[in-house]
Each structure stands twice: as structure tokens, then as C-alpha cells.
Amino acid sequence: MPAYCFTGFRLPSFSKISSHLQSRKNCSLPLPAQVEFPWKNDPQPIFDDSLLLHYLSKRWHQEARNFLETTHRADLHKQLILWTSLVSKFSREGYVDEARVLFDIMPRRNIVTYNAMLSGYLQSGRLNEACKFFKQMPYKNVVSWTSILSGLADSGRIGDARKVFGVMLERNVVSWNSLVTGLISNGRLEEARQVFDQIPDKNMVSWNAMISGYAKNDRMEEARILFDEMKYKNVITWTSMISGYCRVGNVGEAHSLFWSMPEKNVVSWTAMISGFTWNGLYEEALLLFQRMRFSDAQPNGETFISLAYACARLGFSCLGKQLHAQMLIKGCDRDDFDGRLCRSLIQMYSVFGLMDFANKIFDKNSTNYDSQSVNSMINGYIKIGQLHKARILFDKIPIQNRIAWTCMITGYFNAGEILQAWHIFETMPDRDAIAWASMIYGYVQNELIPEATSLFAEMRSQGVSPLNSTYSVLFGAMGAMAYLDQGRQLHGLKIKTVYEYDLILENSLISMYAKCGEIGDAYNVFSNMTYRDIVSWNSMIMGLSDHGMSSETLKVYETMLELGIYPDSVTFLGILTACGNAGLVDKGWELFSTMTNDYALQPGLGHCISMINLLGRAGKVKEAEEFVFKLPIESNRDIWGALLGVCGLSKTDSNVAKHAAKRLFELDPVNAAGYVTLCNICAVSGMHIEETKLRRKMSLKGVMKTPGCSWIILRGRVHIFLSGDRLNPQVEEMLFLLSGNEID
């Protein structure tokens, strides 16, 4: 049993204590920790206050009084110190009622005793009792007034705190600082600054409180002014500024301040590492940790939390495991009282897809599920294709949050299990706009466009406002299916319901109208944009290029350059296609060279195919073949297919066609388009025997050309027609109408 060591005190005999315990049963209070009260020149007998605590909890006043009177009988001053220390100790350990009983039975008290009891009420959150006790105090000093002021401010009663401050007869710098801190924590920053300016003798705490208040409210200009005015700064001052700059995204200034610090501790290192991480500079966070390892500061749990997220975002699984090992070696996991370190590890391993590691950590806290860890686990299982395990975990947790429901919906859609996704959505108790958006996106992803539009209408009928991303997904779907009428209706609805400018939505509209054949409407949207990014320019360039408007495409490109917008690979794909449509071979070569030499962009598959088409359409098939041979990338079936395709445009390039077809069929023996193109080339060149052999070979291999299709929307229903399809019962009627004949 832990004991307290007091000097100048004679311990009651064991028999006396035993008799008390026999007469008073049911002592079940936990025993306090050991504390020492040293006094000089006295022996130190052991004092066990568990019996006293038992008396106080049972409100056995006489027994407690008798027990206390045995302490330091000859020294009243030492008695008072001991009893006051016990009041403070019991309050601090949560025995506030017992402390109050002890306070009441004390024969002597001083201002320190009163302040100890007042502090006990405040520390335990019992503000009303503290206020009542404060009023009853026979005498008060600056500590008493400051304590009640801080208690009122901490509980949000800042008005009462100001009244207390106003009637204080004596104030010290702690009183002023308490009011400043209270005003800041209650969001009254301007008033805090006024009080700060009135402090007669500011100390380091005063300056740090005000600077921290500005930093936490993202007012870094004012924080910097105070920071520069300070004559003496400590590590707290520097760290507050670093954290503030990172919070507003000015990581460069934070980094500059960090290296200007005369002294760094683990908090300042961690603040900078966390600032890098939360601003997406994950590599910089890990590199700074490497520098930290050579300093005197040792990483703590907060440091490892930021590093775990950085490793997850970068996909550095090996480094993540090493960090985890370091956490275990340093014992950081034992101090993870709020579970944040555990959550970061679960999230990290889930992102890596290492679900055995994640599950091991998760099982350690299986009795205390938290939504973030559950969501990470579900996403991790879905990522590696173990949807059944995600469902088991989903069904296991007592309360599913919205994110978990939405993750399951997305997982089933990704796996192509449409009915399961729909069932999860239907049973979801509280469907928000994100859940509806996930369903709509899932339908679009699985090419169920009518179902997506129907669900969108149902969502609106239930009073759920669509997210901007929902509109963007549907605009993309309307463009892909060329549903112009529905796209226009959706555009009108967007104008009525979306009041803030959304760049992504505007870009989606350009793409939708261009794909639906309304390039004029696409250009109107583009012209009226208040702000454009590279996606806006590329959408317009690709739209014009696809419509064969080569000169307009190049004009938009030139305007883009004049405005200082740097083109990317998509931009060059659009303008190279435009050059191919217009037969601008020299311009095409110039742009291709510009892409590689001036902008250091590596040509991709699309750019190479565009150049092949450009040369082939201009009748330069031999040059196209030479271009293929000189490509820095290995030619695949798309390259050889493109070369074979341009050979069909000329009667004199059968040798190139045969070579391209040979390479194509080596890579893809059943490429229907290649066989058809080669057959047509043979037919045009008069090589009918070769054509017959090719068609027989196609028949033996079962190679069939995919028929073309067209569709039309009539009364909300999509009608699809395949080339040569005569299965539709109305086909004869449609053919008569197309031929201009009338049906009897």
C-alpha cells in the first residue's frame, strides 16, 4: 500500500486503526498515490491518508477530526500546511466532496486553504459551487480573484469574467493574462487586443497569448507585427508563428522562421513537420524528420501521426513500417490516450492495402470503435478487392456512419454489383447529398445513364440539394451519350440552383456541349467564364478540333500562349489532331517539336497516333512508317493499327500495309478492324485472291467486325439501332420513312 511520508508526526497504532476498520465496514475507495511532505530536522514516519479519505467520504466528521488532531500537535503551522496540502491533493485527484468535508472540519484555515478549495471546485468544473464558495470567502487575494475570473472565462461566461476583473481591488500580470486568454478563447479577439494594450507590465506569457490568438484565427499579419515588436522570444513564441503560417498555407514563411529559431524543441520540430504534411508537402515532411533525427529532440506521438499520414499519401509502405517500429521502440503507443496515433496507423496501412497490419491494430481497440478507423478499414478492404470482409466489418459495427454507408455503396459499384449497391442505398437510414452523388456516379460509371437521371430526379423530389460534383458527373454522362436535350435541361437547373461560380462545372459544360455537337454553345460558355484554367482551354481546343475547326483551334491555342498559360500534353493532342484534319503537315511537325523541345513534354500514345494520321492523310505513308520506326517507345497494336489505317487511304502503299498488318496481328491475332482494313486495301489494289484468303481466315478465326450503332431518345426512352439490324418490329416502317415513301 502506498504511503505518505510526514515528519514530526506520530502514527496511530496498528491496533487502533484495525479497531476503526472493524467498526466501520464497506471501505471501497481507491487509494491515492504516494506524496512526500519533507520537513527539516524531523524523523519521517509514514502517514497513510487512505483511512482519512474513508472517514471523509462517509462524512464521519468526528473520526476524521480525531485522526487529524494527532498530526503535529506541537506545531500548529505544520498542521495547517499538511491539512491544506491534503485539501489540494484530494481535489486534484477528483475527491472534491471529501476535500470540502476536510475543509469544513479544519479548526484553522488561511487564505491558501480557501484558494485550494476554490481551485478544487474550478478544476472539477463545478463552477456554480465555486462562485458560491467565492462569495462566502471571508477574505480574498489576487489569486482568489484570478482563479474565479479564469473559471468563468473557461466556461464561456466571459461577460461575468469581465465584471469580476472590473471590481478587482488588486491585479497582477497573471490577472491580465487570464482575461486576455479568456477573451481569445471566446472569440473576442478585438477586445483581447484592447486589454493586451492596457497591461502595464507585459511578460512573455502576455505576448505569447496574443500572438497565439492571432495565429489560431489566421490573422498572421497582426501576429507578425507583435512578433517583430517582442524584444525577447522563447520557443513557444516561434512555434506559435510557425503553426499559424502553416495553418494559412504559407509554408515557405513558416520554414524560414523555423530555421531562424535560436532553439528548437520537439514541439517546434513537430509543428513544422505537421505543417508540411497538412499542406500536402509529404516528401518535405519526411526529409525534415531525417534532419530532426540528428538533433537533440526526440519525436513524440504527434510527430509520428503526421509522418504516418505523409507515408500513406506517398505510398511509402516500407518507410511506414519502419516508422511504426520506431513508435513501438520509443513506447509512443503506450501514451496514445486519445487514440489518434492508432487511427493514423490504421489509415496508413489501409491506404497501403496491408490489411493484416491494419486489422491487428484495429483489433486492439475492438471494444472502442471509432468511425474514422472503421471507414479506413472498409476503404482498405474495398481497395484490395475484399468486399466481403468490408461487409462483415460494416455489419459488425453497432452504429454505421454515413461515410461507412457511402464507402460500401462505392465498393459495390466498383465491383459491378449494382443490385447490392442499390440495396445498401435503399436501407441507408439517413441519406445525405454525398450518398445520392455516389449512387448517381455509380450508375454513370456502369453506363446506366437513364437510371442515373431518374435517381437525380428522385433526389430532388425528396428535397435534397445536389452537390456541384453531381452536376459535373451528369454533364459528363450527357456529353458521352450525346443527350443534348437532357443536357440543356440540366444546365438550366444548374443556373437556378448553383449560385457560386464553379470552375469544374463550367469546364464540364464546355465538354458536354462540344460532345453533343453544339460547339457554338460550348464556345459561349467558354467566352463568358470569369476564370479559366488549363482544363478550360483544353476542353475548348479539343471540342473545336473534334469538329474539324482547325483554324479556330489554332487561334485559341495562340491566345492561350499570349495570356501566359502553359500548354500541357492534352493541349498538344488537340492541336496536332487539328493539324491532321486540315493537312497542315509542316505546322504539325513544328508543334510536335515545340512540345518536346520547348516544353519538355514526352510524347504519349495519342500524340504519336495523331502524327501518323497527319502524315498518312497527307499521303506521306512512307514518312509515317519511318516515324513509327524512330519512336522512342515500343510500338504497340494501337500504333500499328493507326499505320495500317492510313494505308487504306492510298492505293500505292500495300507493302507498308502488309508490314503493319503483320506486326499488328502478331500482337492481336483477332483484330477485326485490322482484317477489314487490309481486305479493303487488297480489294482496291486488285489483289482479290489475297482478299479472299483474308476473309476465309477471318471466318476460321471467328473474327467479326463490331457493327456500328446509333440511338435516339424518344419520350424519355433510348432506342438503339445496330448496323444491319432488322430485329426491331418497326424497322420496315422506319426504312420507308427514310426512303421518302409512304406506308399504306
Per-residue CA distances from 229 to 225, 233, 258, 676 (Å): 6, 10, 18, 81
Rounded to two decimals, what is the model's pTM?
Answer: 0.70
- Written as one letter, the residue type at 683 is A
216: exposed, middle or buried (Cβ count in 10 Å: 0-12, 13-18, 19+): middle
Whether residue 729 is predicted with pLDDT greater than 70 in this model: the reply is no
- Give me the residue label for grid cell 508543334: 591
Residue 315: count of CB within 10 angstroms of its CB:
12
Rounded to the nearest 5°, which phi and psi values hold at 46? -85, 130
Position 648 scores a pLDDT of 67
| Dist. CA 217–CA 701, nearest whole Å | 71
Whether residue 73 is predicted with pLDDT greater than 60 in this model: the reply is no
Position 504 scores a pLDDT of 92
Cβ–Cβ under 8 Å, residues 131 and 106: no
Name the residue among 277, 267, 282 with its Cα closest to residue 316: 282
Position 335 scores a pLDDT of 76
pLDDT band at residue 43, thresholds of 50, 70 and 90?
very low
3-state SS record for 588-636: HHHHHHHHHHCCCCCCCHHHHHHHHHHHHHCCCHHHHHHHHHCCCCCCC
CA 334 to chain CA centroid, nearest Å: 26
Q: Where are the alpha helices (DSSP H) in 293-316?
A: 301-314
For 192-233, what is each residue's pLDDT tens digit? 999 999 999 899 999 999 999 999 999 999 999 999 999 899
Average pLDDT over residues 636-657: 79
Cβ–Cβ under 8 Å, residues 178 and 150: yes
For 331-358, what is each residue's pLDDT tens digit? 887 777 778 889 999 999 999 999 999 9
Q: Which range, of 60-74, 475-489, 493-507, averages the lowest pLDDT?
A: 60-74
Q: Which strand ranges, in their side-by-side order, compose the sheet holding 46-47?
A: 36-37, 4-6, 46-47
DSSP conformation class of 27: -
Position 655 scores a pLDDT of 81
Cβ–Cβ under 8 Å, residues 37 and 82: yes
Cβ–Cβ under 8 Å, residues 99 and 91: yes
pLDDT band at residue 539, thresholds of 50, 70 and 90?
very high
Q: Does the domain at residues 603-706 carry the CATH identifier 1.20.1290?
A: no
Name which residue leads in pLDDT, 713 or 370.
Answer: 370
The two beta strands, 36-37 and 4-6, are parallel
Q: Which long-range contacts (CB under 8 A, 24 or more apart) does 155-163 make?
A: 155/125, 155/127, 156/186, 157/127, 158/182, 158/183, 158/186, 158/188
Concatenate the DSSP letters of all residues of 46-57 into one string. EE-THHHHHHHH
pLDDT band at residue 46, thresholds of 50, 70 and 90?
very low
| Dist. CA 381–CA 388, nearest whole Å | 8
Number of residues written out for the chain:
744
Whether residue 249 is predicted with pLDDT greater than 70 in this model: the reply is yes
| Dist. CA 164–CA 179, nearest whole Å | 10
Position 408 scores a pLDDT of 93
| Dist. CA 161–CA 178, nearest whole Å | 10
Average pLDDT over residues 370-375: 86
The interaxial angle of helices 371-383 and 387-396, nearest 10 deg, is 160
Q: Which range, of 1-5, 130-134, 492-496, 627-631, averages the lowest pLDDT?
A: 1-5
Domain boundaries, the chain: 603-706, 708-744
